[in-house]
Amino acid sequence: MTEPEAETDPEPDGGRGDRPQAHTIRLELADEPGELLSALEPIADEGGNLLSIFHERGHITPRGRIPVEVDLECPPSRFEGILERLRDEGINVVDADAERYGEHLTVLLVGDLVGTDISDTVTRVESSPAATVEDLSLSAPGGPAEQASARLRLATRAGAADEALGVVRTVAAEKGLSVVEPLTEVSR
């Protein structure tokens, strides 16, 4: 729903210098041998440290591509270079978070979503500095008067997932909606 923060924005806190920070990049790759390797090489070449790669082979996009989520660590000054290099190589970068949105969480909302103004619900969640709504899917098979469901994908600052969930809970409680929260795994 919202554009990711422009990666070139200077960090408001300013004081972190060029220490490596975590970033998440979402790519869409053709289902061909070597595609993944050719996407990862530029990241390493440009000084990025790969943390994890989530290769969703089972989930082909409508364009017949395979979504890949790459978590990496690099100094802030290198991040833009990595993205440029990927684009130069013809890799489809669909989403690049600035490091301030380091975590994602998905929640379901259930109830009278239409009657309680779903766009206001999203706006309220986004008004929190903790979260931005990246994606929204709504299902109201019984029509607007019936109980509906929505799936929200939130991006949050690293370590702010609880705060983001708290905002969702508060808004939902005010509107009489139920929240199906993700299970917050104990960090391993």
Q: Within positions 25 to 44, which residues make up the interface with other proteins, using CB under 8 A? A: none
Build a one-symbol-per-residue string for 54-93: x at contacts with other proteins by CB under 8 A, - elsewhere. --x-xx----------------------------------
CA 156 – CA 102 distance, rounded (Å): 6
Q: Within positions 106 to 135, which residues make up the interface with other proteins, using CB under 8 A? A: 106-108, 110-111
Build a one-symbol-per-residue string for 92-111: x at contacts with other proteins by CB under 8 A, - elsewhere. --------------xxx-xx
Helix (H, G, I), strand (E, B) or coil at 59: coil
Six-digit token string for 43: 């990241």
- Do 38 and 91 meet the contact criterion of CB atoms below 8 Å apart? yes
Judged by CB under 8 A, the residue of 30, 151, 163, 166 near other proteins is 151
- Smallest gap from Cβ 111 to other proteins, in A, equals 8
> Which of these ranges, 40-48, 115-123, 148-156, 161-169, lies near other proteins under the rule CB under 8 A?
148-156
Six-digit token string for 4: 């990711």
Q: Can residue 148 be called a binding residue for other proteins (CB under 8 A)? A: yes
Helix (H, G, I), strand (E, B) or coil at 46: coil
Taking CB atoms within 8 Å and a gap of at least 24, the contacts of 13-17 are 16/76
- Do 74 and 18 meet the contact criterion of CB atoms below 8 Å apart? no
Q: Can residue 170 be called a binding residue for other proteins (CB under 8 A)? A: no
